[in-house]
Amino acid sequence: MAMPDLNLLVSLDVLLSEGSVARAAHKLRLSPSAMSRALARLRSTTGDPLLVRAGRGLVPTPRALELRSRVGQIVQDGAAVLSPVAALDLKQLTRTFTVRTSDGFVENFGPDLIARFGKEAPRVKLRFIAKPDKDSERLRDASVDLETGVIGETTGPEVRTQALFKDRFIGVVRKGHALAKGSVTAARYAAGRHILVSRRGLDKGPIDDALKKAGLERQIVSIVGGFSAALALARTTDLIASAPERHTGNMREGLHSFPLPVATPSITVSMLWHPRLDADPAHRWLRGVVRDICRAV
């Protein structure tokens, strides 16, 4: 079935509201003959005369009366779709943003984000969910609005990214731990008992590679899936945790932190989103808030 000419909807709307070919032509800045041709096409398309002669004027048929309010609404909706987006009113914005984050993000940046949202957009909700992997499917299927974390090989090529901050790994122990005093050498560090953080359950990481280059090996006695668990263990045992410095700032309160005695690569924490949300004003605002908070903390 051929698609009808949707431009005829505008002509029909004006003809039905004006009840006159001449007045409709003037309103649409067309010649009377062009407007007459449009009416003829409308009659052919709908199978109804729509406007019929009554004395010196035109009156609508029952079919035209039935269509009048519907056509008017369709034209208004179409105009709204094709109009520029209205200015964003944050005070009236009602929306829930789902943010998928790595372990420690909510604890460290969540309070400032919530405070900013409460001040600027009090009707907006933030839903934080865990990020057990780096797969981009949740961004593609729109179940997640924004992600934070380190870009990986499984990050979709179409995903938009923006760096938030650079981070480095540090050592963390309880206040009374032996490593809380004196210089922490590679030998002293390796001689301790360690916690390894691995979401995939691996038994070695970049720190072990760095120690191996120095001819050292550490004893890993516990493997956990996140930094919050690692820091909780370090707080109540003599185990040594290793965690990203900025990403776990609030979580390390009351603990002793120290630079790692071996060189490890720095990491870049980024935010990620699907390109369909690039131009969305509310999502742009969300990205700006996350960027501001992460760079300020």
185-244 pLDDT, tens digit each:
999 999 999 999 988 878 899 999 999 999 999 999 999 988 999 999 999 999 999 999
* Mean pLDDT taken over the chain: 90
* Dist CA 203 CA 64 (whole Å): 75
Asked if 130 contacts 259 with a C-beta cutoff of 8 angstroms, the reply is: no
Give domain limits for the chain.
8-81, 95-167+268-296, 169-265
Residue 258 neighbours by CB distance under 10 Å: 15
3-state secondary structure of 31: coil
Q: Give me the CATH code for the 95-167+268-296 domain, please.
A: 3.40.190.10
User: Would you state the structure tokens that stand for residue 107, as one six-digit string?
Assistant: 């604890």
17-45 pLDDT, tens digit each:
888 899 999 989 999 999 999 999 999 98
Q: Percent of the chain scored above 90 by pLDDT?
A: 60
How much of the chain is helix, strand and coil, in % rounded to 5? Answer: 40, 25, 35
Same fold, 95-167+268-296 and 169-265: yes
Q: Which residues contact 72 (CB under 8 A, 6 or more apart)?
A: 13, 16, 17
Contacts 24+ apart (CB under 8 A), 33-39: 35/11, 38/8, 38/11, 39/11, 39/15
113-157 pLDDT, tens digit each:
999 999 999 999 999 999 888 888 889 888 999 999 998 877 888
Backbone angles phi, psi at 273, to 5 degrees: -150, 165
* Dist CA 155 CA 148 (whole Å): 12
Global pTM reads 0.70
Q: What's the topology of domain 169-265?
A: D-Maltodextrin-Binding Protein; domain 2 (3.40.190)
Q: Smallest Cα–Cα separation from 254: which of 157, 175, 155, 150?
A: 175
Q: Give me the CATH code for the 8-81 domain, please.
A: 1.10.10.10
86-106 pLDDT, tens digit each:
678 999 999 999 999 988 899
In terms of Cβ atoms closer than 10 Å to its own Cβ (0-12, 13-18, 19+), residue 119 is exposed
Which pLDDT score, from 0 to 100, does residue 133 have?
Answer: 81
Q: Smallest Cα–Cα separation from 9: which of 73, 84, 83?
A: 73
Place of tokens 């789902």: 98
Residue 96 neighbours by CB distance under 10 Å: 10
